[in-house]
Amino acid sequence: MMNIISGGVCAAKGFKANGVHCGIRKNHSKKDLALIVSDVPAAAAAVYTTNLVKGAPLTVTKNNIANGIAQAVICNSGNANTCNADGIEIAQKMCTLVEKATGIAASDVVVASTGVIGQPLDVTPIADHMDALTAGLSYDGSSEAAQAIMTTDTISKEIAVEFTVGGKTCRMGGIAKGSGMIHPNMATMLVFITTDCAISAQMLQKALSTDIRNTFNMLSIDGDTSTNDMVTVLANGLACNAQITADGEDFSVFMKALNTLTINLCRTIAGDGEGATKLLECTVTGADTLEAAKTAAKSVICSSLLKAAMFGADANWGRVLCAIGYSGADVDVTKVDVSFRSAKGEIAVCKDGAGIPFSEEKAKEILLEKEIDILISVGSGSYSACAWGCDLTYDYVKINGDYRT
């Protein structure tokens, strides 16, 4: 049984969190520093951006969790600590501040930053607010932490699930930030996941690396892969199940829980894309290979022309076929069928790679909804894939035209 529950990163036993405004961001009403702490050391796994330009915190985090152990996460928003000469030093200082405030070894800290690239990060306001940050740690503090990692996000993003492994009730929760510069490859934005399930660091890494291929890596808002993308998972084992150390039924259950959580976060992030008014979900079925299905779905969701058409509620199905055609996916374009679906119904607009008569009025009614499904069949194969994105609006340009100011 897999149940969605409340609690975010604090849903699992033994995890506390908090978020405060320390002064990195000029807006005093917005939190900009988050801390997540496990009562005990936890197995740790992470995936990172493949952008050659990487934020300093990623380098420090990778070194810190090389032994598969972590006990805390500290993250600031408003400044990415990327492309700075002293970036590594600052990220390490943030870990040291956690050690001084909590007693957790600096080497057991995951550190992350998000915000403007190339702007020096002054660690002073972080140091000045560590007492308040740690004093406010709470087993109900997920929402505060989720708010503190936001940048251009308009909503905080958190989710938790409850599941059973080996007869023991386990919980897993996550928070995420991501609204723009979203086009991950082996990672995504910033996502912090916690669980009380007992699982080895090796199997935790396997679970995460496997899951993101069909979840976060199938998400795109604007085609830009961030320098600071990172997903981390901490598993402290306080559910007291027999530790998962190999493939099997228990690992499959864990994978399902992780997938339930990550898909929810994918949809929430896509729906909150910068300036977005609509969540787009593209499903490709009938492919001869998984790679073909994934390539086609991701290409459609990344098409600026298709995204603009969805903003205008224009059933311009030709843009779907165009995106499939240049995607590199091995499909027969003469067998492609396309439909659009929303809460207002479903309408077929293309059959066997050619247009068919349909009601433009009905199509517009369907496409005016907040959540749009783009349904594509490419043949009679057995493989399918799903990708998530959003529409492209005037506001996206406005937000990114004056991002630093």
Quickly list DSSP for 318-379.
HHHHHHHHHH-----GGG-EEEEEETTEEEEEEETTEE----HHHHHHHHTSSEEEEEEE-S
Torsion over CA: 254, 257, 259, 261 (sign): negative
* Mean pLDDT score, 115-119: 89
pLDDT at 186: 44
- Give the least confident one: 272-276, 318-322, 330-334, 383-387: 272-276
Q: Looking at 239, 271, 303, which one is the last position of a domain?
A: 271
Q: Structure pTM?
A: 0.91
Told to judge if 151 belongs to the known catalytic residues of this protein, a careful annotator would answer no
Same domain, 91 and 217: yes
Same domain, 253 and 322: no
Task: Please state the separation of Cα 352 from the chain's center in Å.
Answer: 35
Q: Which domain holds residue 356?
A: 279-401
**DSSP label of 199:** B
Q: Looking at 213, 248, 271, which one is the last position of a domain?
A: 271
Q: Looking at 251, 271, 291, which one is the last position of a domain?
A: 271
Of these residues, 49, 102, 134, 188, which one is catalytic? 188
pLDDT at 251: 98
HSE (side-chain half, CA atoms, 13 Å) at 21: 9
Alpha helix (H) residue ranges in 193-248: 201-211
* Mean pLDDT score, 243-266: 97
Same domain, 225 and 284: no
Q: Which residues are 263's β-sheet partners? A: none
pLDDT at 181: 58
Look at the chain and report how many structural domains it folds into: 2
Same domain, 299 and 240: no
**pLDDT, tens digit, for every residue of 332-375?**
999 999 999 999 999 999 999 999 999 999 999 999 999 999 99
Residues 53-75 as b or e (16 or more Cβ within 10 Å = b): ebbbbbbbbeebbeeebbbbbbb
Same domain, 382 and 304: yes
Same domain, 306 and 325: yes
CATH of the domain at 123: 3.60.70.12
Residues 311-337 as b or e (16 or more Cβ within 10 Å = b): bebebbbebbbbbbeebebebeeeebb
275: nearest Cα among 402, 393, 178: 393
pLDDT at 52: 84
